Structure 1
């Protein structure tokens, strides 16, 4: 593959998406960053406090990091807005090298210790913005990437695809995007376009900082070794740049483990894998039924 130059990170007003966009900016990339937040105050943490972050602020951070940030207000629950986003990228950049599917609906009860039927039904919206939205973005990206003969479609996933984490809706969304990477690879084989799903460890984000205070007995240990989201970005950049990355297409990878193989560190540090504690990604299944 040629050196990746144009990326799209969805759901990048704050959190993992913001850090991933910034990390790709550190590699000199032009990064389109999407989100719904254009003025602070639209999102709140687990304790009700207003969370910082807008798409414009993230884009500015990308530029400051050495790339070029392009903010785009986009609601990924709206297919028309997503179509317009990709049309804009095609018109302005002429190509897309990395898509990072990160946009996810975060329900305010996500980390509450309640069974799913005692949480609001609205928690299932993660299957709309988080699962379906990733399919829609990947559909548009594949059309661009197949034509150019290269590209990486990535999904930000977690160990919640294997173990119980935050309830069944969250788990189904993560397992679903892992399956997207697996099955899309089958369809994309031979086109030069790759797919991968990344199980990130605990991340340093605005919400995780609040979670460690809200549920210290559960989160403090994890936060002590939490990954910077830029770490994920550097892994994805390496996978997109390395010709050997094609061998990993369709796989679900644990960030800490594949980083060691690729020689990528998190600001000079290696991060632990939680495989033994939280589970393993599924092995690729070569069977195909039409």
Structure 2
């Protein structure tokens, strides 16, 4: 039976790629976000466009406009999933508020709205998980994924970003403890440098000599890792912060170009390496 998934913040970027990859695996994916027309974001992308690409990939995409700062709207989303599907298999928490592109200066010199990342990005993960958990438990098997990053342990962009990513890791670990008796897993998956609309625009804005040339992960790679995790013994990894490149290599997952993303553990740090018994 095809999986039922919710991917938050999927108008563009990581969420869009994850949703498409789950579609490749045959899933029905509820694609959430605020962007309903191309002009809603300077980076383009809409929930309808992503949903269409999910369907084109082999799944079924269902766009749902949701402001993840609105608790009532989030509750209505999961009530709709329950009514239309009667179950939920996978929740991917990816929605986040980013206040502009990275720029120099201390946190006190940047817009205070930068802290919104802790609201829509950490609190919103909690709220979505709160409403998803009863559906996952009733299903008898489920998975919650928080999209993570090396910013949980290394400086990246600003303190709000680091706090959000570190908090998402801890939240997944603690949720996993409470969900384990119900056969529901929770993990955080760290993504590397992504080839997204936002990152391409930022790189293009840099002087040619400052533009990074290293290969970047496609956003679909993390979705492929999630599909492979769920298809296997997902409880084996529950409660862990996992580097996508590392767990992808263990599970035989490749990127859209057939390559294998590299772990940045030894450049930026990482979560504890998996004990041999968990490999």
Is the pair's TM-score, using the shorter chain for normalization, greater than 0.5?
A: yes
SS in 2 for 1:96: coil
Counterpart of 2:244 in structure 1 is: 255
TM-score, normalization by structure 2: 0.94
- In the alignment, does 2:164 pair up with 1:173? yes
Equivalent position to 1:18, from 10, 16, 22: 16
Counterpart of 1:189 in structure 2 is: 180
Counterpart of 1:60 in structure 2 is: 52
2: CA distance between counterparts of 1:21 and 1:101? 11
1: CA distance between counterparts of 2:164 and 2:210? 22
Counterpart of 1:85 in structure 2 is: 77
Counterpart of 2:30 in structure 1 is: 32
Equivalent position to 1:246, from 224, 230, 235: 235
Structure 2: unaligned runs, 5 residues or longer: 275-279
TM-score, normalization by structure 1: 0.91
Cα distance, 1:106 vs structure 2: 0.9
Cα distance, 1:75 vs structure 2: 0.2
1: CA distance between counterparts of 2:77 and 2:269? 36
Equivalent position to 1:275, from 251, 257, 265: 265
Kept in 2, the 8 Å contact 1:4–1:241? The answer is no
Cα distance, 1:282 vs structure 2: 4.6
Structure 1 segment 37-52 matched on structure 2, within 5 A:
37-44=35-42, 51-52=43-44
Root-mean-square deviation over aligned CA pairs: 1.4
Kept in 1, the 8 Å contact 2:94–2:147? The answer is yes
Kept in 1, the 8 Å contact 2:2–2:26? The answer is no
Kept in 1, the 8 Å contact 2:89–2:139? The answer is no
Equivalent pairs, count: 272
Counterpart of 2:96 in structure 1 is: 104
Cα distance, 1:215 vs structure 2: 3.4
2: CA distance between counterparts of 1:58 and 1:138? 22
- In the alignment, does 2:127 pair up with 1:129? no
Give deviations 1:66-99, integer Å, cap 9, x for gaps: 1000000000000000000000000001111110
Structure 1: unaligned runs, 5 residues or longer: 45-50, 285-290
Equivalent position to 2:129, from 138, 159, 182: 138
Give deviations 1:180-232, integer Å, cap 9, x for gaps: 111111111221100110010011110010121223566513xx311111110
Counterpart of 1:47 in structure 2 is: none
Cα gap change, 1:215 to 1:171, in 2 (>3 Å): farther
1: CA distance between counterparts of 2:4 and 2:264? 32
Kept in 2, the 8 Å contact 1:127–1:173? The answer is yes
Counterpart of 2:220 in structure 1 is: 230
